[in-house]
Amino acid sequence: MKIYIKVFLSILSFGLVALSSCTEGDDFDYGKNVVYITGTEITPVTKFVVEDTPSSYAITASATAKVTHDVNVRFAIDNSLVDAYNEKNNTNYYAIPDGTVAIENSDVVIKAGKSFSTPVTVKVISTEAFADGRVYVIPVTIEQVDGLELLKPSKTIYLQISRAIHFTSLNVSNTNLYSNFIFPDDKKQELANFTYEIKFYSEQWHSIARLCSFTSKDEKRSSMLRFGEAGMDVNALQWVSPNGSIVSSTRFSTERWYTVSLAYTGSQLTMYVDGVKDSEGAGDGKPVDFQRFELGMSWTGYRSSQYFRGRIAEVRVWNRALSSAELKMGLCGVDPESEGLVAYWKMNEGEGHIFKDATGHGFDMDWSNTTREVSEGQGLTPNLDYSSAIAWDSDDINKCYQ
């Protein structure tokens, strides 16, 4: 048992469970029995899946050895802990709104001869007050222990609410849809750092499939995404970045959603897949301009050969490089008021031809007024109406757990 406790405390002290280090220091007695929340020896954050309400989650307290007498433990919900956790771990969790959660049986007992307590129940009563794009946590903490010491670094568990989010997406299989939207000059964004994001679902692979491009008005220093180019595997993603080609190590599957994020710090270019670092390259330290979004491969007749069969959603432009922790929290959606979010197209309108910018910053894209090069060498043709090619999908495929 001493070995177990020493390993447990070593994990905590090295931060592998993202908790604060032990306060006992070198004088800690590894042989003493202490109380902690079950599961926090692995991670302080655990998912609480809420399909319907009310929905319940059971939590117990554990001792590092069987207790010789009854040990009373009191739990509480403490929303004040969320900000401190975010600051320490570079996350952006939200405290659950008032009146939406309750704790039952908050006083529990570790019975003599046992090493775990009776359960406390955390119940989500309603999700109606939850805002789209926000990831909520419930900080459940041990408030008091009678009869044993409390292991402070493992006294709190954060229940991350995981909801089933059903969404509408843009179908991009019709090649007549492919074109550019160029924003007015007063909307040009000079970005010293950036993160570009797109969520996509592929139905098939073929030789080359162009997904999209985030670029300047004149297409200099672009970030373009395409599959299968230059002899690559057809399900390998190439990021033609402002400083060279970066190819994904991931080989993407059909019939599942992915979120790809492209981050630039000036010195580093990093591709993330579902918030996990996938591949990277060196940056050149120079800024890029964003003023134009290209959907698919819109140049001349290449629309019909470099097509992408599938769906897209959640397209975003940020003026900062997001961390992996932040990206993982935004796989289903983000708060439109998030720090550094310049433009955000959820692509979920379900009707019409205008892709709305959820931030309110004025980056709506009107697909009845697009621009592309129709014939090679003829330059850009403005005022092209491709609104009739817009189609939407809203079915069981479009489901995400936030």
Phi, psi for residue 11 in degrees, rounded to 5? -60, -45
Q: Are residues 141 and 221 in the same domain?
A: no
Ramachandran quadrant class, 350 (left: phi over 0; alpha: psi -120 to 50; beta: rest): left
Q: Are residues 295 and 311 in the same domain?
A: yes
pLDDT value, residue 17: 37
Ramachandran quadrant class, 287 (left: phi over 0; alpha: psi -120 to 50; beta: rest): beta
Q: Are residues 176 and 302 in the same domain?
A: yes
Q: Are residues 231 and 131 in the same domain?
A: no
Mean pLDDT, range 220-244, rounded to an integer: 95
Print burial letters for 286-295: b (CB count within 10 Å at least 16), e (below 16). eebbbbbbbb
Could you give the count of Cα atoms lying within 13 Å of 279 in the half-sphere of its Cβ? 15
pLDDT band at 165 (very low <50, low <70, confident <90, very high): confident
H or E stretch at 181: strand 179-182
Phi, psi for residue 333 in degrees, rounded to 5? 165, 165
pLDDT band at 24 (very low <50, low <70, confident <90, very high): very low
Rounded CA gap, 37 and 19, in Å? Answer: 13
Per the CB < 8 A criterion, the answer to whether 173 and 203 are in contact is yes
Query: Of 115, 134, 164, which residue is a domain's last?
Result: 164
Q: Are residues 236 and 120 in the same domain?
A: no
- CATH code of the domain containing 94: 2.60.40.1740
Query: Of 137, 164, 191, which residue is a domain's last?
Result: 164
Q: Which domain holds residue 337?
A: 169-401
Q: Are residues 95 and 124 in the same domain?
A: yes
Mean pLDDT, range 233-253, rounded to an integer: 97
Question: Is residue 388 over pLDDT 70?
Answer: yes
User: In the numeric block, which tokens belong to residue 184?
Assistant: 């007015």
* CB neighbour class for 387 (10 Å; exposed up to 12, middle 13-18, buried from 19): middle
Percent of the chain with pLDDT over 70: 92
Question: Is residue 2 over pLDDT 90?
Answer: no
**pLDDT tens digit sequence for 70-94:** 999 999 999 999 999 999 988 889 9
Q: Are residues 193 and 160 in the same domain?
A: no
pLDDT band at 29 (very low <50, low <70, confident <90, very high): low
Angle at 131 between CA 57 and CA 39, to 5 degrees: 25
**pLDDT tens digit sequence for 344-387:** 999 999 999 999 999 999 999 999 999 999 999 899 999 999 99
H-type helices in 74-121, by residue range? 81-89
Per the CB < 8 A criterion, the answer to whether 211 and 225 are in contact is yes
Mean pLDDT, the chain, rounded, equals 91
**pLDDT tens digit sequence for 280-297:** 999 999 999 999 999 999
Rounded CA gap, 285 and 268, in Å? Answer: 8
Rounded CA gap, 121 and 369, in Å? Answer: 55
Print burial letters for 145-164: b (CB count within 10 Å at least 16), e (below 16). beebebbbbbbbbbbbbbbe
Mean pLDDT, range 14-43, rounded to an integer: 63
Per the CB < 8 A criterion, the answer to whether 225 and 304 are in contact is no
Rounded CA gap, 400 and 201, in Å? Answer: 12
How many domains are there within the chain?
A: 2
Query: Of 144, 164, 184, which residue is a domain's last?
Result: 164
**pLDDT tens digit sequence for 309-326:** 999 999 999 999 999 999
**pLDDT tens digit sequence for 166-182:** 999 999 999 999 999 99
